[in-house]
């Protein structure tokens, strides 16, 4: 057995998968997985859907079965944090002052919610959703809520609004954009989600921000930038996240909207890797750095970082991928488009059964299937082709998707 030690800071999906990959690669040294939560590593998508609504138990979200870590000789330290990294001496300092020598490190510290910084933001009844405990508390609160205000109409806000309506709460969703998800999908596709939420009884307050929360001890009202006032006895804030880079910054690593890593997920110091929400990774297909805040990216980057940290040399080339379920709409998205890219629709947008393609200079940058299934592999191939595709052929349902893959 080697005397090498791999320390993984963050027992997230990315961290758990990094540990898995290190063992799967044949690494027989010490693997220490350190996480600040007391839970076993879990996946986050169910927290805004099935777990939040009480349709699935919290244990269903776990990355691995209960006995996995012991069986694979992975030292899982829950309720602990890596406080500092000394890259010169190869030592990690844990909370409590314990020093842990390492030969390689994977940073999987994830991200944390952006907090409202305005009067009344500390009132009772204001919730953020990031961790399992957040989901359980919010689910309990939603079941007794009268009127819920969701601040932010991105993915978290939209999914929570849908879950709240499914639990029977009255919901108002507030966002500065004209339509939900506009910053990711653009206006045309955002209209699909606007009508979806309105058809399911959500009141939308678009092009409005929040300036104050009011209440006596507990939130009762939200004051908007347009002067409007909305009643609410529960507020859910989903206005984005901030990568947790404090550990990396203190260690002297290069940071720029996340820990800067190359296509092998190597950071700016030897033996240090990063994966998941905290990683700003060079993507060979897009020829730029991307920081992707989605489950599939955390899972797959974790596998690559863990394998590379113990001697591998795989480049991370997977296209970004994510999914969402809201009411009766299910979708998958692959690639990385810009909201101002040209959009081509195949199918019926009004009936919410279509495929959307985003194009820039003729090349497909991203694609999304909405209530159309078993097509995502073809969509990945079209996006990965990186070549101009005729717009009329993209829009024509009679043209087989496989025929649009550049040869």
Judged against a pLDDT cut of 70, whether residue 362 lies above it is answered with: yes
Kindly tell me if the per-residue pLDDT of 152 is higher than 90: yes
| Residue-wise pLDDT tens digits, 12-68 | 999 999 999 999 999 999 999 999 999 999 999 999 999 999 999 999 999 999 899
pLDDT tens for 56-84 read: 999 999 999 989 999 999 999 999 999 99
Across the chain, what does the average pLDDT equal? 96
Q: Do domains 5-112+241-309 and 115-237 have the same CATH topology?
A: yes
CATH topology of domain 5-112+241-309: FAD/NAD(P)-binding domain (3.50.50)
**What is d(CA 316, CA 265) in angstroms, rounded to the nearest whole number?**
7
The CA-based angle 128-189-229, given to 5 degrees, is 45
What DSSP state is assigned to residue 154?
A: S
User: What pLDDT score does 96 carry?
Assistant: 86
What is residue 33's DSSP assignment? Answer: E
pLDDT band of 406, cuts 50, 70, 90: confident
- The answer, yes or no, to whether residue 2 has pLDDT greater than 80, is no
Instruction: Please list, residue by residue across 380-396, b when 16 or more beta carbons sit within 10 angstroms of its beta carbon and e when fewer do.
Output: bbbbbbeeebeeeebee
Ranking 96-100, 204-208, 277-281, 310-314 by mean pLDDT, the lowest is 96-100
115-237: what fold?
FAD/NAD(P)-binding domain (3.50.50)
Does residue 1 carry a pLDDT above 80? no
**Burial class of residue 110 (count of CB atoms within 10 Å of its CB; 0-12, 13-18, 19+):** buried
pLDDT for residue 3: 86
pTM of the predicted model, to two decimals? 0.96
Cα–Cα distance between 51 and 58 in angstroms, integer? 6
The predicted-structure confidence for 236-245, as pLDDT tens digits, reads as follows 999 999 999 9
Residue 112 pLDDT exceeds 70: yes
Domain residue limits, the chain: 5-112+241-309, 115-237, 328-404
328-404 CATH: 3.30.390.30
């Amino acid at each position: 057995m080697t005397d090498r030690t791999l320390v993984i800071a963050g027992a997230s999906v990315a961290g758990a998968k990094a540990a898995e990959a290190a063992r799967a690669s044949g690494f027989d040294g010490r693997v220490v997985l350190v996480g600040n939560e007391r839970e076993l590593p879990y996946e986050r998508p169910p927290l805004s859907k099935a777990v939040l609504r009480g349709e699935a138990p919290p244990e269903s979200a776990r990355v691995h079965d209960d006995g996995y870590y012991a069986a694979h000789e992975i030292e899982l330290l829950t309720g602990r944090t890596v406080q500092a990294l000394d890259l010169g001496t190869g030592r990690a300092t844990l909370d409590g002052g314990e020093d842990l020598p390492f030969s390689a490190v994977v940073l999987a510290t994830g991200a944390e919610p952006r907090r409202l910084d305005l009067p009344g933001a500390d009132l009772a009844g204001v919730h953020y959703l990031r961790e399992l405990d957040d989901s359980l508390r919010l689910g309990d609160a939603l079941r007794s809520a009268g009127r819920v205000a969701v601040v932010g109409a991105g993915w978290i806000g939209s999914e929570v609004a849908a879950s709240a309506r499914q639990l029977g709460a009255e919901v108002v969703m507030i966002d500065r954009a004209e339509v939900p998800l506009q910053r990711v999908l653009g206006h045309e596709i955002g209209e699909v989600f606007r009508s979806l939420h309105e058809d399911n009884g959500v009141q939308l307050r678009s092009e409005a921000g929040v300036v104050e929360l009011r209440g006596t001890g507990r939130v009762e009202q939200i004051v908007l930038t347009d002067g409007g006032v909305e009643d609410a006895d529960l507020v859910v804030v989903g206005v984005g996240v901030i990568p947790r880079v404090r550990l990396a910054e203190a260690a002297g690593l290069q940071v720029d909207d996340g820990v800067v890593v190359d296509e092998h997920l190597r950071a700016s110091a030897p033996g240090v890797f990063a994966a998941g929400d905290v990683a700003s990774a060079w993507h060979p297909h897009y020829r730029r750095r991307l920081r992707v805040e989605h489950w599939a990216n955390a899972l797959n980057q974790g596998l690559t970082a863990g394998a590379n940290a113990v001697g591998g040399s795989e480049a991370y080339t997977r296209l970004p991928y994510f999914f969402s379920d809201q009411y009766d709409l299910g979708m998958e998205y692959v690639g990385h488009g810009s909201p101002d890219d040209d959009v081509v629709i195949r199918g019926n947008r009004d009936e919410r059964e279509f495929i959307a393609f985003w194009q820039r200079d003729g090349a497909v940058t991203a694609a999304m299937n909405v209530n159309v299934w078993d097509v995502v592999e073809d969509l990945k191939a079209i996006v990965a082709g990186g070549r101009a595709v005729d717009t009329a052929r993209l829009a024509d349902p009679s043209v087989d998707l496989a025929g649009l893959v550049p040869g």
